[in-house]
Structure 1
Amino acid sequence: MPRAPGRFRVGCSGWQYLHWRGSFYPRDLAVGLFLEHYASVFETVEVNNSFYRLPEASTFEAWKERVPSDFLFAVKASRYLTHMKKLKGPEEPLSRFFERARSLGRKLGPVLYQLPPRWPKNIDRLEEFLAALPKRRRHAVEFREPSWYAEDTYRALEQAGITLCLHDLHGSEAPKRFVGPFVYVRFHGSGKKYGGRYPDSAVGEWAERLAGQVRRGRDVYAYFNNDWGGHAPRDAVRLREAIERRLGVDDPA
């Protein structure tokens, strides 16, 4: 029996950007309505500010009430866990994170763990961390140091059911290798960090690649982090539409 296709969601890394007024948000739109406008265009967003300061449970709860029922928040874990502790002793910070983030209920999507640059591969630490992750959640790990891109890393992720985050940040780009039960991609900028418009060729190549994963039954989450100049929402729409064309659908499914 053929495998049922996965579902794909494309969005941006954040929505609270004042400089998107006039290019994505109406110029006179109140900041307090940014999320509602964003959620009228996209089905998912990646929460980045949680990396610097974990929102209160009440904040997550308020966000949940402002978006449609099928909207998903991907949430980046705290830098306290990934950068300060470097994954050591993860139980308490993980417990604190999920105690608040679970207020999103069914709208909590994948959790992203972005590891620090200049921290080379430590496979024992990684395996201990992966073993502590809640099994019922979706998790993705983004590496920022090239030594992590190795077979023992991929094997540890696969065995734990954790996804390798693919990204294009210059100097630590991830190989275009799909590891884990779903696909998680971050676009950090074209030609400049967190800026620049992705050319049609790049959007087309990624659309082909991601549509292939959807056909194989994998769910796909893709987020644009090139917020400067308002390129992120425009590029996200372009990628979404390109994937739809390749799958022959009008809406992501």
Structure 2
Amino acid sequence: MPKPTSEAGDLFAAPASRAGRVRAGIGGWTYAPWRDNFYPAKLVQRRELEYASRALTAIEVNGTYYGAQKPATYAKWRAETPDGFVFSLKAPRYATDRRVLAEAGKTIADFVDGGLAELGDRLGPINWQFQPGKTFDAADFGAFLELLPRTLDGRALRHVVEVRHASFLCAQYVELARRHRVATVFTDSPKYPSFADLTGDFVYVRLMRSEAAQASGYPPAALDGWAARANAWAMGEEPDDLPRVLAPAARTAARDVFVYFINGAKERAPHAAMGLLERLRGAA
């Protein structure tokens, strides 16, 4: 097994005092092309999470978008992963893929109260992903944000919304999300709106341009750039080379940063995440 890259309280802090922590990972851990590529030859499938959680510092779980998991499953994930590692969970589609978002209260409660507490400190941000056809309605979207619970068993919950329609590229949305202190996904994608306005207390990035021709997923210079941006966010600064709706704010408090290599040439995603972590270790 690889040496763990994450230790509790020491997750590649940016090279400055009082910096946030930066984690990097992939979507899921079960994917056939990762065998004999990312995973060692002959590693049994039941040990893939154990391995991935020691090579990376976070994983985004897509399965929760399609169906509920049992509390025992969350407890098992926690037991198989090291201190400091976190799971970001995709919230169920039944909460976000609906005409009236204000009516999602029961679905939200069922998901949050359905065993997430079993993850304990392994529970990272919850990603509420919306369909590309879902347009921005300030009143209804605001009502949805009001429904998101702020704590679970005494632990603060971190919520992030992934909006995929150009109507969200407006000051009214950014200001609404900021009032509710809910983060917005920055998606580096040719398909969806990409805007880096900070709306919550942490940063959540989904990178979707991995290339099959690149052994490291992204060209080395591109990984250098994302490492620099992650460090800037962690120190409370904002990168000056990303699109925004509003002008960047003055330097703020340190933020935790979550970077996921998702989609694109998925077979390269683990190598891209490990390449980013290597750069963050060097910077720290």
TM-score normalised by structure 1 residue count: 0.90
Paired with 1:58 and 1:215, the residues of 2 have a C-alpha distance of 37
Paired position in structure 2 for 1:73: 87
Task: Give the structure 2 partner of residue 236 of structure 1.
Answer: 273
1:227–1:65: structure 2 CA closer, same or farther, 3 Å change rule? Answer: farther
Q: Which amino acid aligns with 1:172?
A: Y
- With the length of structure 2 as denominator, give the TM-score of the two structures: 0.80
Q: What is the alpha-carbon distance in structure 1 between the residues aligned to residue 38 and residue 92 of structure 2?
A: 28
Aligned partners of 1:59, 1:48: CA distance in 2, in Å?
Answer: 14
Cα shift at 1:90: 2.1
What's 1:176 paired with? 196
Aligned to 2:184: 164
- The question of whether the paired residues in 2 share the 8 Å contact of 1:61 and 1:104 is answered with yes
Determine whether 1:51 maps to 2:51: no
Identity percentage of aligned residues = 30
Is 1:12–2:32 an aligned residue pair? no
Q: Which amino acid aligns with 1:114?
A: Q
Partner amino acid for 1:111? I
User: Are 2:255 and 1:218 equivalent residues in the alignment?
Assistant: yes
**Does the 8 Å contact 1:86/1:115 carry over to 2?**
no
Q: Counterparts in 2 of 1:184-203, with a 5 A limit?
A: 184-190=204-210, 197-203=217-223
1:101 matched to 2:116? The reply is yes
Q: Given the superposition, is the C-alpha separation of residues 170 and 227 from structure 1 closer, same or farther in structure 2, using an over 3 Å criterion?
A: closer
Distance in 2, Cα, partners of 1:59 & 1:137: 20
Determine helix, strand or coil for the equivalent of 2:103. coil
Residue 53 (structure 2) pairs with residue 33 (structure 1) = no
Say whether residues 1:122 and 2:153 are aligned partners.
Answer: no
Q: Deviations over 1:170-224 (max 9, x none)?
A: 23132133322100001123469xxx92222322222211111112211100111
Query: What's the CA shift string for 1:24-44, capped at 9, x where partnerless?
Result: 111211111100001111121
The alignment covers a number of residue pairs equal to 244
How far 1:57 sits from its partner (Å)? Answer: 1.3
Once residues 139 and 268 of structure 2 are traced to their aligned partners in structure 1, the CA distance between those partners, rounded to angstroms, is 39
Alignment partners' CA distance in 1, 2:266 and 2:25: 16
Once residues 126 and 221 of structure 2 are traced to their aligned partners in structure 1, the CA distance between those partners, rounded to angstroms, is: 29
- Per-residue deviation, 1:239: 1.5
Looking at secondary structure, tell me which structure has more helix per residue.
Answer: 1
Structure 1 residues 101, 93: CA separation in 2 closer, same or farther (over 3 Å shift)? same
Letter in 1 for 2:70: E
> Partner amino acid for 2:87?
F
Kept in 2, the 8 Å contact 1:168–1:189? The answer is yes
Asked if the contact 1:188–1:226 (Cα under 8 Å) also holds between the matched residues in 2, the reply is yes
Q: Is the 8 A contact 2:206 2:262 kept in 1?
A: yes
The separation in 2 between residues aligned to 1:172 and 1:86, in whole angstroms, is: 22
Q: Counterparts of 2:103 and 2:118 in 1: how far apart (Å)?
A: 24
Indicate the SS of the match to 1:208.
Answer: helix
- Mark the runs of 5 or more structure 1 residues left unpaired by the alignment: none
Contact 1:143 1:174 in 2 (8 A): no
Contact 2:210 2:268 in 1 (8 A): no
Residue 91 and residue 229 in structure 1: after superposition, are their counterparts in 2 closer, same or farther (change >3 A)? closer
Equivalent residue for 1:155, pick from 163, 175, 183: 175
Provide, for residues 220-241 of structure 1, a one-character-per-residue CA deviation record: whole Å limited to 9, x for no partner.
0011113745211100011122
Check 1:228–1:27 CA distance in 2 against 1; reply closer, same or farther (3 A cut).
farther
Q: In 2, distance between residues paired with 1:59 and 1:211?
A: 33
State the Cα deviation string for residues 108-150 of structure 1 (Å, max 9, x = none): 1100011101121111111111111112210111111111121
Secondary structure at the counterpart of residue 84 of structure 1: coil
